[in-house]
Amino acid sequence: MGRVPPAAGLRSPEGDLLGPRENAGRHRPRRVAMLSVHTSPLHQPGTGDAGGMNVYIVELAKRLAALGVAVEIFTRTTSAALPPRVELAPGVLVRHVDAGPYEGLAKDDLPARLCAFAHGVTQAWAGERPGHYDLVHSHYWLSGHVGRLTAERWGVPLVHAMHTMAKVKNAGLADGDTPEPAARVAGEAEVVRAAHRLIANTEKEAGELLHHYDADPGRVAVVHPGVDLERFWPDARGADAGRVAARSRLGLPRDALIPLFVGRIQPLKAPDVLLRAVARLLQERPGLRERLVVPVVGGPSGSGLTRPEGLQKLAARLGVSDVVLFRPPVGQDRLADWYRAASVLVVPSHSESFGLVAVEAQACGTPVIAAEVGGLPVAVRDGVSGVLVPGHDPAHYARALSAFADDPARSARMSEAAVRHARSFGWAATAAATAEVYTAALRGHRLHRVP
């Protein structure tokens, strides 16, 4: 396996090593066309197909704009009421593209609409002055196909972020979940071959690109996602006082043990593992029932849409309905309160390229119990800011929860370390590193075009 280079260390045509600022001055793009076909940055994360990738695109675009890189995000029109353009933030424009029926299309229906989407993007480009976009940055494999076509048409480099990979998801498939189709596997391979640069969230994801898709190590850069440290922060009065205040605002018991789940309700995210762990915990320690509250904040998504009430029915079968609170997705400020109110966030996913919710919770001072998969070992410091659990056996998660039940002060003790760890993942650093990847892609593209 080849070594994946960091997003820095570029050299001038004369061979001199350039620092990030000098790189940026020479080749940083003025305007980027960002593609998000299947989910809009305007959608509420936590339901449907909206999740961490939505947060990623919004926050990255805003921070890139602050660096002087204008961003135009192309996404599919899902309602006739949507205007063609929406200013998301200064320097960030969302452009809606007509590609198929506005409503009723599932993500699996979208591959047949990619040519129409690419045509819509090209039409928007035709209405601008030549050279309007310096670079295309696509997110997820569907957008990658459109990016491959448009970047070639415009004569600009393509930067692609996979976010999730079919081969990785299929290798860690949850029981009863649907495997990713062969068409996606083949499509991802095409995008990997076409991209001038690939952005991976972690070293592990970069290794998976090399191993599963035979990516060129020289085209892969690792850039960690970030967290909005201005929105997700601990209470200045301390972890205990902040927890009590947040619980009061949310109407939660002051002294309860509160393991929280946040995310889309689908087999991949494994909220069922948390419910089974809670049932196991109460079976072994029935006295905990009086002080246990388990909020599940999110909405059905993916294969979970086929059984939207499946998790509620599972809670009833397990006999834990009385301690589980099902709540719909909430805005970011309200979500920060849920994090602060929790004793611990539980992330039992079968696959995670990074795990933004884990970092957001830690930024609020809440430790995390997470599956030892994907990027979660980077997002969570095992034994310091949280606990990593090998596999998905509910008994192991019950044991981890029991440790927090036995020692109510454990959350407060881990809180400070969690905040310190999360502070190393700011979106400003993510944007700066991404801009360096753009610089490398532009320079490599120009050198390739010049005989």
Which amino acids are annotated as binding site, given as ranges? Answer: 38, 44-45, 49-54, 107, 140, 164, 184, 264, 269, 330, 339-340, 342, 352, 360, 366
For 217, counting Cβ atoms within 10 Å of its Cβ (0-12 exposed, 13-18 middle, 19+ buried), the class is middle
SS3 call for 139: strand
Known binding residues for Mg(2+): 339-340, 342, 366
| 349, two tokens | 């996913």
Which residue, among 57, 198, 72, has the nearest Cα to 134 in the 3D structure?
72
Q: How many residues does the chain have?
A: 451
Known binding residues for UDP-N-acetyl-alpha-D-glucosamine: 44-45, 52, 264, 269, 330, 352, 360
Max distance between CA atoms of the chain, in angstroms, equals 76
Distance CA 22, CA 27 (A): 9
Q: Cβ neighbours of residue 3 under 8 Å, at least 6 residues apart?
A: 217
Which residue, among 288, 414, 299, has the nearest Cα to 361 in the 3D structure?
414
Please, are residues 94 and 65 in contact by the beta-carbon 8 Å criterion? no
Distance CA 75, CA 264 (A): 20
Please, are residues 167 and 374 in contact by the beta-carbon 8 Å criterion? no
DSSP E strands in 245-402: the ranges are: 259-262, 294-297, 324-327, 344-347, 368-371, 386-389
Task: Quickly list H helices, 181-220.
Answer: 182-194, 203-213
DSSP character for 44?
P
Known binding residues for 1D-myo-inositol 3-phosphate: 38, 49-54, 107, 140, 164, 184
CA atoms within 13 A on the CB side of 55: 21
Dihedral sign computed on CA atoms, order 354, 357, 361, 363:
positive
| 320, two tokens | 């834990």
Pairing of β 324-327 and β 344-347: unpaired
Report in angstroms the alpha-carbon separations of 160 from 355, 374, 421.
Answer: 19, 19, 27
368-371 β-sheet, strand order: 324-327, 294-297, 259-262, 344-347, 368-371, 386-389
Question: According to the 3-state scheme, what is the secondary structure of 343-368?
Answer: CEEEECCCCCCCCHHHHHHHHCCCCE
